[in-house]
Amino acid sequence: MESISDKAQWRQRAAGIMAFKYLSPSELDSLLKAASILRYSPGEAVVREGELDAYLYGILSGTVSVTVRDSSKSDEGKDVYMCSLGPGDAFGEAGLFMSVKRTATVSATDDTVLLRIHRSDLSAFFKSQPSGGNKLLLVVVYGLLRKLRAANQELAYERKADLDQDDVDALLSDLLGQ
């Protein structure tokens, strides 16, 4: 990872990150002052599953791969590909709200430049720029709800593939003695 000191060259791309898209120019400038711009090499991990990390990341250029460890298949586990994210996408939203371990590993797949901002800096932004903070939070919550919906749909598909609803109903009926 390499830190980039000239943030001005990345301002326009930062404005294209969905979480920051609706910020005014002055709100975006205020946010960029607190953020870091970082360059990652191909294969370099940005965050690792299981680590505590209180940062929100926005992708300015390049692509990242999101994987989770599947330890159910063998003792050593295997990385399972979840998705790729590119310019304009953000990740690490849960770290804004809670001190929780990362649920996935995110690695650069090519030369990638990210905007990174710490939870405490975002909290200061919310206090100093309440209108911008509300816009940012609404977009982040919307993005999290979209991710939750996609996960729910995938779970429903997997459940349907595993058990038929009649099987579930019969199992519950047997358990409840009906």
pTM: 0.83
Per-residue confidence (pLDDT) for residue 163, from 0 to 100: 63
pLDDT of 75 higher than 60: no
The residues spanned by each domain of the chain are: 2-176
**3-class SS string, the chain:** CEEECCCHHHHHHHHCCHHHCCCCHHHHHHHHHHCEEEEECCCCEEECCCCECCEEEEEEECCEEEEEEECCCCCCCEEEEEEEECCCCEECCHHHHCCCECCCEEEECCCEEEEEEEHHHHHHHHHHCHHHHHHHHHHHHHHHHHHHHHHHHHHHHHHHHHCCHHHHHHHHHHHHCC
Mean pLDDT of 73-80: 73
More confident residue, 177 or 134: 134
2-176 topology per CATH: Jelly Rolls (2.60.120)
Q: What is the pLDDT of residues 87-136, one digit of tens each?
A: 999 999 988 888 889 999 999 999 999 999 999 999 999 999 999 999 99
